[in-house]
Structure 1
């Protein structure tokens, strides 16, 4: 649920400043949206030009990745601005939706003022960070890195401005005064509590990363800002770390080039729908499996298995699949909450399918053979997929199929021929990566060009008027996702600096029970860690510490890698903390609350699959030479 959804657009102005704030918001918002949409287009052009020049012309553009990285940080920040203006940052509304209208109005205002508090506190460090980066010259373009880093203070400043405008547009002066005073009082109380925090030691981790995060999440504050407030508070009040370091970690999380696949695959998903490719594909799949109970849910699991690992990002994989399948599944009566729950679960299920970036990272930091990891990753993902299929079968065993048409073989064949260009797309994308035509980041642009040509020449369906709204939607959704990732990266760094990782590794090494005892505690630890750490930071942090201990305990490193990745994946996609779950909700445009009652069955299935993978090493290492 977005912030705006709680307000009636036809209601009288909330306060005397509402009309003026709305006019400013409309004009300035249109400018920011146009720039963000243009950057999405620019990124596609830059990356596709890089592919063509390197593969077709054999004259690589040495500056293409660098320029793409510069624009990507601007896209992440301006997209986050658009998302805040539209109320599209993901948030938990389970509590907010159950209280009375008066309390709900206060909580809605609190969500904005809490976000504004972080933006105000972070403004000075953001500008300081950009100033420090101005002394660095980029290697290829040979320009000041301030051109890239300036995106952060500009984005923070614009978000703060739109947060103020949003308060004035949607909230009464009384609500603004109460929530602003409450936010200031809480910040003041924490500031005065510094002497107490100095005596707590590691208990500060519980205070900030458990209590503060949980309290703000359930109060309805956008998830990214919950992570940001907790991290800022921990670093500012319990350490001597300059806040500019936190901004640097956010930058690192938001501008990792592999994550550029996220907005490009989001746009690709929208393009597939607009060009008629999705309709053709769904028509074929529905004719093939539509008469089977839960048929399209099986298609979703299989589709994620096929495309997973192409982009290097689970969010990007989901963005490529959800827009294609969800509309038809909803038409057939599937609940949006069940769809987003299954999508999240498939994100965790497919973490080990090559060419997974997490597998490559494990090989890089631990010395385990990447080829062995690729070989070992396929069957464990299949085991977890079968466990998910069991839940789908149980939930849809009584589905009413009386209104579903059963097609003849000739009709299915005709639908297949029509859908063939669309069905070929995942294979074209995967082949481009495997054959070295494009990197995992660039490959989505091949999909975009392929879809444009298919829409214009094959399906004769291409609405030019929809391009701008699609680009703006892509920027907003990407910004919301990337801002969560950036804030989660900063929080992960804060945990690292506390010494938590070294303490955890030592504690796990002392657990009795041999190989299975170590695997059991590893599952527990990595499920919890997966809630707050993306896979790559977690592996870089804990891989070098724990893999040698696993070998000493008698666990094959490939087997251990599969167990660790799945455990982290389950944590990453498990609410209420898991970042991946909110990414799936953002892509699906479903309120996180709706998926809550459905997801636990799928998570239980994943845990059963994980226990099977952990208990039977052959599943992971049976095909190794």
Structure 2
């Protein structure tokens, strides 16, 4: 059953169900209120961080309270954003298996995808309130506020998610499916609780039961990845250890509270801004005027445009949405096959994962302690190396393209396009210079980009639609909530694995692998390609980054070099069908059926792999420009 058919079926359920209609009204009122608050918090975060930059750099009077306030508001924004994401069905999940079953089975699995998270929310609710209560005596040094004000975001957010899950169940699912899913979920929880004495003597085999079997069953069954991690961790700690559950909530808080993660919503919003203000279109038009007259020229433009836009937005979906509508109509008019276009778009998504300010780079820096500035510097050239490999495939496929009807742009036209595109082309350099010169931190620098983009949109391009700001802010909060909540849940899961001794065993096993640094790198490439296809980049990095980066250091691999290899490996997994969700995102944006891209994507994926091997074999590509 297609997504549209599922949505139509859900709409019919809501229309024919009086209880569902009441739930819809409650959902609309409560959901709109949460969206407004989350959007407002995004704006306040931008204002607070930009004020901190101005106060420190312009007036030389640092705002000592700005980081504390930003951290407190960020946790609230992340939790409310997670509520919005749950209401909209936007939490990261793997639907490859779910989409291949019969309509009836799929409807039941879609219902289970809500009842399973609801079970976790119900179980963790009281520990979350306990955790917030325990934080009351802790007082922040600058604002002298109780930390309970910040920590309360977790129980409030979890409670709102539970309410939204119930409302979504009633609104969109048939009563019989709800009864079956709830029954199966309750029976599963009770059986595991009764089996607690059985788990005690199993030792480390419990890791397989909880972190492999349960996680795999939930992920492949369509349960959002964050809740799959969280439920498995809660069950493992609750049934096999004596760890108080508020400790797990504390690890969840810790994972969501890294100050560097504040850059995530700001760069997401910046990506939306460059599309709205016409900056992305200006860059693409300039590149097209340079290369549009050569064979495969617009494909080269696509590769180059993704490189430039990725250097601004940090969001792959925003990158693709900015480029595909501009380039694809002309490329199709020249005879390019839609399947080849979506295959190349998907491949460039993997190619540009290392270009700053990539959210994956920020996450790696957050969980491993690697310098963000070093990652930003090291990520530029590897993407060029992989892009050259993609260009080789484009050259081969389009070497016989007929360009008899294509007009070459004049020098005057190229100059005009360059003049219009200059502000947009300059933005990545402005962002990097602000970090390198110490004007702003990696967290704050996005606010400079936001202010810069607003000014360019208003005064230069004269393209600034105020009506689009609210949807952009809400979308930013929703995507941020989905990302940060999964980081928190993955952090709690990683802590559980560490406490079990798994990290020590993994480190010893990896060190004992033959081949030294080369063997370790080869194993890492294979592992992260698989992890990228199943877990996506961010949860895989949060789970395994803290475990594997110290091993890489121990066998003599530079951390920045290892980060680039890991990111490309995950990118291949993320954008390669049949499991890579990035590929389906590219298809959705391009409005091309996934089946059309399958015959064309093999060559591009091979080029990505060749580029990955080159980057892995030549460390200088990643670290040659580091100080």
Q: Give TM-score scaled by structure 2 length.
A: 0.85
Q: 1:360 to 1:467 in 2, by over 3 A?
A: closer
Tell me by how many angstroms 1:58 deviates. Answer: 0.8
Give secondary structure in 2 for the equivalent of 1:440: coil
**Which shows bigger deviation, 583-592 or 22-31?**
583-592
Give the corresponding residue for 2:193: 191
For 1:353 and 1:622, how far apart are their aligned partners in 2? 20
- CA offsets, 1:469-526, max 9 Å, x none? 2111111121122222222222222222221221122122323345534443454556
Instruction: Give the 5 Å matches for 1:91-110.
Output: 91-110=93-112
Preserved contact between residue 300 and residue 321 of structure 1 (Cα < 8 Å): no
- Aligned partner of 1:49 among 42, 51, 63: 51
Secondary structure of the structure 2 residue equivalent to 1:9: helix
1:567 aligned to 2:566? yes
Q: What is the aligned counterpart of 1:449 among 438, 447, 451?
A: 451
Q: 2:263·2:362 contact (CA, 8 Å) conserved in 1?
A: no
SS in 1 for 2:94: coil
Show the counterpart of 1:554.
none
User: Residue 251 of structure 2: which of 226, 249, 252 is its match?
Assistant: 249
Report 1:581-600 matches (<5 A): 594=594
CA shift in 2, pair 1:487/1:349, >3 Å:
same
Q: Distance in 1 between matches of 2:345 and 2:85?
A: 20
Deviation of the 1:572 alpha carbon: 6.7
Shift of 1:241: 2.0
Q: How does 1:521-560 map to 2 (within 5 A)?
A: 521-524=523-526, 535=541, 538-548=544-554, 550-551=555-556, 557-558=557-558
Q: 2:39 aligns with which of 37, 40, 45?
A: 37
2:17 maps to what in 1?
15
Report the Cα offset of residue 405 of structure 1. 5.5
Match of 2:323 in 1: 325
Matched residue SS, 1:90: coil
Say if 1:572 and 1:280 are closer, same or farther in 2 by CA, change over 3 A.
closer
Which of 334, 346, 350 lines up with 2:351 in the alignment? 346
Tell me the alpha carbon deviations over residues 282-319 of structure 1, each in whole angstroms, 9 at most, x when there is no partner: 22222223445665554555456567788xxxx93546
Distance change in 2, residues 1:484/1:430 (3 Å): same
SS for the counterpart of 2:268 is helix
Render the CA deviation track for 1:352-405: whole Å, top value 9, x for unaligned. Answer: 99996688789967xxx9999888766545433333444555676687878866
- Distance in 1 separating the partners of 2:424 and 2:624: 35
Change (3 A) 1:389 1:94: same
CA drift of 1:216 comes to 1.6
Displacement of 1:327 in angstroms is: 2.7
Distance 2:375 2:19 in 1: 60
- Mapped partners of 2:592, 2:191: distance in 1: 31
| Residue range with higher mean Cα deviation, 421-430 or 609-618 | 609-618
Structure 1 vs Structure 2 CA RMSD: 3.9
Following superposition of structure 1 onto structure 2, how do residues 169-568 of structure 1 map, counting pairs within 5 Å? 169-292=171-294, 295=297, 298-299=300-301, 301-302=303-304, 316=314, 318=316, 321-331=319-329, 332=331, 338=343, 341-350=346-355, 379-391=381-393, 393=395, 406-524=408-526, 535=541, 538-548=544-554, 550-551=555-556, 557-558=557-558, 562-563=561-562, 565-567=564-566
Give the conservation status (yes or no) of the 8 Å contact 2:78–2:484: yes
8 Å CA contact retained: 2:576, 2:605: no
Cα distance change on mapping 1:360 and 1:149 into 2, 3 Å: closer
Residues 106, 175 of structure 1: 8 Å contact kept = yes
1:353, 1:377 within 8 Å by CA — same for their partners in 2? no
Question: Contact between 2:347 and 2:605, CA under 8 Å: does it hold in 1?
Answer: no
Q: Provide closer, same or farther for how the CA distance between residues 52 and 475 of structure 1 changes in structure 2, counting only shifts above 3 A.
A: same
**Mind listing any 5+ residue stretches in structure 1 that lack a counterpart?**
552-556
CA contact (8 A) 1:258 1:440 kept: yes
How many aligned positions are there?
610
Q: CA deviation at 1:351?
A: 8.2
Task: Indicate conservation of the 8 Å contact 2:13/2:174, yes or no.
Answer: no
User: 1:279 Cα deviation (Å)?
Assistant: 2.5
Within a 5 Å distance, the mapping from 1:591-610 to structure 2 comes to 594=594, 604-610=606-612
Structure 2 unaligned residues grouped into runs of 5+:
333-337
Task: Note if contact 1:88-1:476 (Cα within 8 Å) is conserved in structure 2.
Answer: yes
